Chains A and B, each alone.
Chain A
Amino acid sequence: MSRPFPSRVASVRAAPPDGAGPEAAMRLAAALLAASPRVSAAGSGLCRADARGWERRGGEEALARALRDAARAADFQVRGVGIADVPVVSDAASLVAVRRPGRIAIVPPGTGRRFLAPLPLAALPLPAELHETLRALGLRTAGDLAARTRAELEARFGPEGLRAHRLARGEDGRPFRALHPGASPRAELDLAPPVESLEPLLFVLRRLLARLCADLEEAGRGAARIALEMVLADGTRRAAAIVPARPTRRAGLLHDLCRAALERAAEEGGGLAAPVAGLAVRVERSAAPDARQGDLFRAEWRDPMAAAGALSRLRARLGEEGVVWPAPRPHVRPESRNGWRPVDPCAAARAEDPGASGGSADSSVRGEDGIPGTLRLLPAPSPVCVRTGAGRPVELRDGAERRRIVAAEGPERLSGDWWKDPWRREYFRLCTAEGELFWVFREVRRDGTLRWWLHGWWD
């Protein structure tokens, strides 16, 4: 079958330095984007890249070296790089490349079947059970399998047998679309296995945009409209248009905007509505980049996206934990009961919506501890001097100022965190002659001595 743009695929096998983890394939794929705009993570330790269009850039050998070096730069240990017409042959070539100079094996166009014939069946991506059965039948090599008729194999293994037969003959129908030379800048990446949470997707997005912006820079253009496309595991696609205020090739800004779009599509908690099997960014409209700074008072900034965009900028500047909300935490230590939770931009947008349901949390703890007032905690317990009589506080000293204590209730004992940072406290509620109500504790230190702290007061 003739193809308008004959396919050439590069397969890269590499191992991460810290062992195979779920992110390793994605990290490898992202690293290879430095050498090719079209990369596919094909499984643990294996990625494929579009190998077309390198005739004027040193040929396929140069591409193989570039891919190998990109992987190595990301601390991957490269086992082999193979280039061939179709993935099944290039994958097999990457296995063979382990014993080739430079760990590179290039299979000339049209010779895939001959290349595969002497290789063991293990070089083909066959299901384990089929592989075992073929072995039991005495079929050892791809050539053995290719020599059977299609009818024989279909009769015994059905479509799976036919597929195996095609693979053994170097015919790989798995899609690996080549990019048209001269097309708009585009970068895409297949994800195997599909990604179910947002975080790894954002990691890949950053690399894709970096690639896209590099191409824009080479072309002297800025993106005026970007198509962000997700291919879901069930084959459906989700697309979003990203329209910056002005044409730009600043990857950071584009990342913020794309990220906001992805987060809107994500479930609460970072999970995605459906696993994502591929992500692509494509420049739909480009123009000369606008060097002017943005104007916060322009109308196009005052849409719901603007708040999320601003938040994204803040988060980008201050870090993930930089923008937070107060939130109660179940903890024994009083000062640890109040915490901060990173702001969810979508939730923030909902909260700002006056029509959104749900009221604000009541921060008052009035009356809970039996005292008609509100306990105010110091930001951190403050050392204080307490004079005791018969083991009970009788005077509170704060510098030169002294307060006589007329009532002391306690001790209330709290302790915990013995497995990381042990602490042990005895709290007292003190009432001074002036009617002030204080909350103090004494801390039993490891050497057995006591130290007093003021932790709060009631008002």
Chain B
Amino acid sequence: MVGLSRPGAGARPPVAPAGPRGGPAPPPFVELAARSGFSLLDGASTPEALAGRAAELGMPALALADRFDLGGVVRFERACAAAGVRPIAGAEILVATGGRTSGGAPSGGTCGPLALTLLCEDRAGYHRLCGLVTEARLSRPRGAPLLPLERLADRTGGLLCLLPAGAPGDAAAPGAPGAPADPRTTEGRAAPREAIGRLRALFPDRLWLALAHHGLPEDARACAAWLAFSRETDVPWVPVNAPRYARPSDRIVHDVLTCLRHGVTLDEAGDLLRPNAEWHLKGAAAMAQRWCLRGREEGMWGRADGSGCGCEGCRGLARTVEIAARCGFRVSELAPRLPVFPVPGGGDRDGFLRGLVEQGARERYGDPPGEREARQIAHELGVIRRLGLADYFLVLWDIVRFARREGILVQGRGSAANSAVCYCLGITAVDPVGLDLLFERFLSESRHEPPDIDVDIAHRDRERVLQYVYDRWGRDRAAMVCESITWRGRLAVRDAARVLGLPQETSDRLSVEVERGGSADAVRRLAEGGLEAAGLDPRTPRARALLRIVRGLEDLPRHRSIHVGGFVMSDRPIGEVVPVERASMPGRTIVQWDKDDLDLPGLVKFDLLGLGMLTMLADGLRLVRESRGTALDLAALPPDDPEVYDMICAADTVGVFQIESRAQMNTLPRVRPRTFYDLVIEVALIRPGPIQGDMVHPYLRRRRGEEPVTYLDPRLEPLLERTLGVPLFQEQGMKVAIALAGFTPAQADNMRRAMGFKRSHRKMREVERDLVAGFAANGVAPEVAEKVLQYLTAFANYGFPESHAASFALLVYASAYLKRWYAPEFTCALLNAQPMGFYSPATILHDARRHGVEVRPVDLAVSEWDCTLEGEKGEEGGGPCASMRHAGTRPPPAPALRVGLRFVRGLGPRARDRLRAAREAGPFRSVEDVVRRSGLGPPELRILAEAGAFESLWPGRREALWEVLRQARGDAGPLARRAAERPAALPSMSPLERVLADYRSTGLSPHGHPVTFLRPELDRRGALPAAALAAARAGARVRAAGLVICRQRPGTAKGVMFLTLEDETGFANFVAMPDVGERLRPVLRAPLLLLEGIVEREGAVVNVLLRDAERLDLAGAAPAVRSRDFR
């Protein structure tokens, strides 16, 4: 026990704060137990901030030891490399030192769980640490990882162990030896001798007591006791500060995280908060002041070599450097390997891959393939062999093969479409040789990185493919990538308001003020009037604190979620490469690394993504086959069908992949696509890159012949010829660098990556320097060089790869082809694949009706759960026409579309299963039959009746509902039993009421468009139908009315709002300038509007510049239309 004593008496931590007063530098120190934000809710700085601070403090190395987490080590290593600090990977784990409970779970035992900081000495140690964290995570409930101490037996090689020996009250740190048990800690924590003895056996010569002193009275006592204990037992000790944040000012963030962890406000937190701001990263000087008595007393730090004065404190500080020197492992050297692909009959994987590719080449390119194709394939196979990536391609081929076997539509996209090998393996559907795509965009020998292949899978069947991957390669060798969700503006504001105890209403208002964006934007908006608008006085401490919190939370990890489709695999248990934990979704496991952190360690990712359009196309092809007997093959659709292109040129593209948005529809009549490559351009044109790079309008003008096609340099002509001299694709950017700056393909790819690499402006500057030098060396005129550089940098974050656009263009053409020639099948498949795309089911249905598709209402007698196709009424009983077969060349009659029961609001999966089961026993014949066999309850029956689903079983929707209500209830009640029913005599339903009832119960109506009923009034008020706007002259003041199906305010539009109205004839496009939009904002929120404005015309494209707006009401009952609102 340390009482009041004279300075210098006894061995105890020094006490007075005093800065260095010249003289030799303090003894070096390395922090060995730092935590980052990856200790979720218990670390308040990013790994980058810690590394940066360590560099500022002159710390030669730094150990990151997040609790049961190695999610930050990649970022940490990258940041340390940039800062010139040696990174040490580690983690803190909790071990139970007692036995097991009767349930088998490890218990605290007599000593309670202890926290151990384990540092990786070498690669073997790293793998063991990952394995321990994985086991603790997977064997325990989420959020409560723990390991029995005995599980460390034989698994400590390559690991150094620090036992935090802090003051009582520190979570899971043993209290001072000999001190009375602290009531705030687990019972018996004050007696760790036995546990320490066991740890010494597990970590011979690799165990240290880690003493922390944060300027609290209990620290002084505990440290003195532990020092005595160390001397007595010969267990060496090291000083640590166990920082939770980089700088003292970050303490506020840690306090906030503490509150969030405990679910309390700052005012309620009390002593849950740490009592001072001493948990920051401290450098050698600060630690020497704390631990080196002589340095503090005499202003000197011992010998000139900085090794300290030789006191016990200095020896402890020196030990941290010795420990750091032992830790040589780097995550970047990990290079895990993929599972070895089992070649049938054994043999060479490269040879097997070559065989598959050659076979595919014969199918794709003919037998034998052309010289150009063969040369490209040979080149690619050579690169793949030299990079040792045969397993990668075989694994992917295997996944695609499984999907095809199961009838699941898949298609590779992204840069993989640049590869002829991928094309021959059937992974992609675009011929890169024919399109002259750049292979190095996909794979480069200089990059030493695995390629990035995205495989789109019909979204309804994706889970089957994912589970196949788990089963094929083993659950212990495959896992999904996580996505690290960080605090951003709105989320940060909400959490900050919560911990500050602000009312929910204020929090909501603040959230509205912030809108979307990062924390910096949020702080700016709040500081510039947002606080006042939300009812907070910006001068108050709480308001100021709110801004500090929001700023401080920026980019800190908040939680993990599953990446949309990233899979990783390895030839050893993946949990030994990176810790694995359970995802919230059953049957899924995720690794602790974010998708952006896989490159450095070399972990290969397979992106298996869900795509609704593939589901739609698969269904559409099936429906065409079933209804018309025509077997269509996606790969063999008639190319360049003029009628398909006519439809596209007319912007008649509702439901067509990628070109259905309003912006795309506005561009189509200007681009007037007539070939497949035009579609590739169309897909890439309306993107942030070309828009921000100001490339859209030059291209459109050249396309229409309004300006000449010129090239900045003659060498650019062959590269940009296809895009009329305007660079639109990433590959073009790379080719320009190759042609004008003399870059190699690999250099060009590095340039692309640097420009797209958000975290490194330094790399971008280096590339720009190289480009400028290359331009000069290649004789490019300075003004041309400057212009080209501007084009290239425009692609920095948003450039679109040509191969990717080509893959998408295939789906564009396929879906457009279906829409043009098989509209009923197209609509049916599109509706069944919902939710997807840009438009609501109601809009899709109205569009189909305008294209002549007969739409039949939902009907229990014939409707399936999904939408179906039917023949003529009366034919085949009017039911689904699976049996319809049409031979010969005469086009068969188009089937009618029957709306499925899935659109009846309020029917869930249980109702679906019951209805399916009942219908398998035969179609429903009467109301009584439905009530008896369907197993549906009165609420569901009532909903169906209100939707009109009984009308063919009982005439009249209201009368059917009246009857259903009676039958659903049975004969309960004394009066009911005696009742002699009269005819219902209910008011008949008007057409408008019918449409409104449809909208209310299904969100769509096959009985007409609601605006039809307003047309007489609209005519009287001079409102034009949407279709008539096409003939309106430019500058005319016009009116149009309709349902608002889209409101958009894109970030690139500088506050301009785009509104699309739908009426019975089509769409009317309005543009609201910022001032008008602001003036009319409350009105524009209404679902049904009458708008007035000035016609702007550009060729066939008509937009109306909004001037005024008025709400409309359908007799007080606006339909339940949901517009798609985008920002």
User: Interface residues, chain A, CB within 8 Å of chain B?
Assistant: 129, 133, 136-140, 149-152, 154-159, 162, 329-332, 369-372, 390-392, 406-416, 418-422, 426-427, 429-431, 437
Please indicate the chain B residues that have their CB under 8 angstroms from the CB of A437 in the complex. Answer: 4
Please indicate the chain B residues that have their CB under 8 angstroms from the CB of A408 in the complex. Answer: 7, 15-16
Interface of A is mostly: mixed
Please indicate the chain A residues that have their CB under 8 angstroms from the CB of B275 in the complex. Answer: 332, 413-416
Please indicate the chain B residues that have their CB under 8 angstroms from the CB of A421 in the complex. Answer: 541
**Judging by beta carbons under 8 Å apart, are B252 and A418 in contact?**
yes
B997 within 8 A of A: yes
Please indicate the chain B residues that have their CB under 8 angstroms from the CB of A331 in the complex. Answer: 270-271
Distance between B30 CB and nearest chain A CB, rounded to angstroms:
24
**Judging by beta carbons under 8 Å apart, are A330 and B542 in contact?**
no
In whole angstroms, how far apart are the Cα atoms of A150 and B975 in the complex?
8
**Judging by beta carbons under 8 Å apart, are A410 and B979 in contact?**
no
Distance between A222 CB and nearest chain B CB, rounded to angstroms:
46
Number of B interface residues in the complex (CB < 8 A): 60
**Judging by beta carbons under 8 Å apart, are B17 and A155 in contact?**
no
In whole angstroms, how far apart are the Cα atoms of A330 and B266 in the complex?
12
**Judging by beta carbons under 8 Å apart, are B545 and A155 in contact?**
no
Please indicate the chain B residues that have their CB under 8 angstroms from the CB of A431 in the complex. Answer: 4
B512 within 8 A of A: no
B314 within 8 A of A: no
In whole angstroms, how far apart are the Cα atoms of A139 and B1 in the complex?
86
In whole angstroms, how far apart are the Cα atoms of A426 and B215 in the complex?
9
**Judging by beta carbons under 8 Å apart, are A390 and B217 in contact?**
no
**Judging by beta carbons under 8 Å apart, are A138 and B986 in contact?**
yes
**Judging by beta carbons under 8 Å apart, are B976 and A133 in contact?**
no
Distance between B264 CB and nearest chain A CB, rounded to angstroms:
11
Please indicate the chain B residues that have their CB under 8 angstroms from the CB of A419 in the complex. Answer: 252, 266, 500, 541-542, 545
B942 within 8 A of A: yes
B153 within 8 A of A: no
**Judging by beta carbons under 8 Å apart, are B975 and A151 in contact?**
yes
B3 within 8 A of A: yes
B278 within 8 A of A: yes
In whole angstroms, how far apart are the Cα atoms of A374 and B329 in the complex?
53
In whole angstroms, how far apart are the Cα atoms of A156 and B221 in the complex?
79
Please indicate the chain B residues that have their CB under 8 angstroms from the CB of A415 in the complex. Answer: 275-277
Q: Considering the complex of A and B, which 4 residue pairs feature the smallest CB-CB distances, nearest first?
A: A330-B270, A138-B987, A151-B979, A155-B976
Seed contacts A329-B270, A371-B4, A413-B278; 4 additional CB < 8 Å A-B pairs: A133-B942, A154-B979, A370-B3, A392-B7
**Judging by beta carbons under 8 Å apart, are A411 and B1 in contact?**
no
Distance between A390 CB and nearest chain B CB, rounded to angstroms:
7
In whole angstroms, how far apart are the Cα atoms of A370 and B976 in the complex?
84
Distance between B273 CB and nearest chain A CB, rounded to angstroms:
7
In whole angstroms, how far apart are the Cα atoms of A137 and B993 in the complex?
11
**Judging by beta carbons under 8 Å apart, are B6 and A154 in contact?**
no
B969 within 8 A of A: yes
Please indicate the chain A residues that have their CB under 8 angstroms from the CB of B221 in the complex. Answer: 370
Distance between A123 CB and nearest chain B CB, rounded to angstroms:
16
In whole angstroms, how far apart are the Cα atoms of A390 and B7 in the complex?
12
B2 within 8 A of A: yes
Please indicate the chain A residues that have their CB under 8 angstroms from the CB of B277 in the complex. Answer: 413, 415
A selection of 20 A-B contacts at a CB cut-off of 8 Å is A133-B965, A138-B958, A138-B987, A138-B988, A138-B989, A151-B976, A154-B973, A155-B969, A155-B971, A156-B969, A370-B217, A392-B16, A407-B4, A409-B2, A410-B15, A413-B214, A413-B216, A414-B216, A420-B542, A422-B541
Among B3, B272, B545, B979, contact of A330 (Cβ-Cβ < 8 Å): B272
**Judging by beta carbons under 8 Å apart, are A406 and B6 in contact?**
yes
Please indicate the chain A residues that have their CB under 8 angstroms from the CB of B17 in the complex. Answer: 391, 411, 426
B69 within 8 A of A: no
Residues from 1 to 59 in B contacting A, C-beta threshold 8 Å: 1-7, 15-18
B1040 within 8 A of A: no
Distance between A31 CB and nearest chain B CB, rounded to angstroms:
25
Please indicate the chain A residues that have their CB under 8 angstroms from the CB of B636 in the complex. Answer: none
Distance between B335 CB and nearest chain A CB, rounded to angstroms:
46
Q: Mark B798-840, 1 if CB is under 8 A from A, else 0.
A: 0000000000000000000000000000000000000000000
B771 within 8 A of A: no
Distance between A360 CB and nearest chain B CB, rounded to angstroms:
19
In whole angstroms, how far apart are the Cα atoms of A415 and B997 in the complex?
64
**Judging by beta carbons under 8 Å apart, are B981 and A152 in contact?**
yes
Please indicate the chain B residues that have their CB under 8 angstroms from the CB of A157 in the complex. Answer: 965, 969
Please indicate the chain B residues that have their CB under 8 angstroms from the CB of A409 in the complex. Answer: 2, 4-5, 15, 220
**Judging by beta carbons under 8 Å apart, are B541 and A332 in contact?**
no
B962 within 8 A of A: yes
Residues from 186 to 238 in B contacting A, C-beta threshold 8 Å: 214-217, 220-221
Among A152, A154, A330, A391, contact of B18 (Cβ-Cβ < 8 Å): A391
Distance between B755 CB and nearest chain A CB, rounded to angstroms:
41
Residues from 975 to 1001 in B contacting A, C-beta threshold 8 Å: 975-976, 978-979, 981-982, 986-989, 993, 997
Distance between A389 CB and nearest chain B CB, rounded to angstroms:
10
**Judging by beta carbons under 8 Å apart, are B18 and A158 in contact?**
no
In whole angstroms, how far apart are the Cα atoms of A133 and B987 in the complex?
14
Distance between B836 CB and nearest chain A CB, rounded to angstroms:
30
In whole angstroms, how far apart are the Cα atoms of A158 and B974 in the complex?
10
Distance between B381 CB and nearest chain A CB, rounded to angstroms:
63
Residue among A156, A369, A372 with the highest chain B CB neighbour number at 10 A: A156
In whole angstroms, how far apart are the Cα atoms of A199 and B271 in the complex?
30
Residue among B252, B267, B276, B997 with the highest chain A CB neighbour number at 10 A: B276
Chain B, residue nearest A390 (CB)? B18
Chain B, residue nearest A430 (CB)? B4
Please indicate the chain B residues that have their CB under 8 angstroms from the CB of A152 in the complex. Answer: 979, 981-982
In whole angstroms, how far apart are the Cα atoms of A292 and B1108 in the complex?
78
In whole angstroms, how far apart are the Cα atoms of A158 and B966 in the complex?
10
Chain A, residue nearest B541 (CB)? A420
Among B545, B969, B972, B974, contact of A418 (Cβ-Cβ < 8 Å): B545
**Judging by beta carbons under 8 Å apart, are B975 and A155 in contact?**
yes
**Judging by beta carbons under 8 Å apart, are B217 and A158 in contact?**
no
**Judging by beta carbons under 8 Å apart, are B217 and A411 in contact?**
no
In whole angstroms, how far apart are the Cα atoms of A390 and B298 in the complex?
10
Given the known interface contacts A133-B942, A414-B276, the answer about A155 and B500 at a Cβ–Cβ threshold of 8 Å is no
**Judging by beta carbons under 8 Å apart, are B4 and A429 in contact?**
yes
Distance between A128 CB and nearest chain B CB, rounded to angstroms:
12
Please indicate the chain B residues that have their CB under 8 angstroms from the CB of A429 in the complex. Answer: 4
B358 within 8 A of A: no
Please indicate the chain A residues that have their CB under 8 angstroms from the CB of B255 in the complex. Answer: 418
B380 within 8 A of A: no
Please indicate the chain B residues that have their CB under 8 angstroms from the CB of A412 in the complex. Answer: 215-217, 220
In whole angstroms, how far apart are the Cα atoms of A410 and B220 in the complex?
9
Chain A, residue nearest B21 (CB)? A390
Residues from 916 to 965 in B contacting A, C-beta threshold 8 Å: 939, 942, 945-946, 958, 961-962, 965
Please indicate the chain A residues that have their CB under 8 angstroms from the CB of B986 in the complex. Answer: 137-139
**Judging by beta carbons under 8 Å apart, are B5 and A154 in contact?**
no
Q: Mark B241-281, 1 if CB is under 8 A from A, else 0.
A: 00000000001100100000000001100111101111000
Distance between B185 CB and nearest chain A CB, rounded to angstroms:
15
Please indicate the chain A residues that have their CB under 8 angstroms from the CB of B5 in the complex. Answer: 407, 409
**Judging by beta carbons under 8 Å apart, are B500 and A411 in contact?**
no
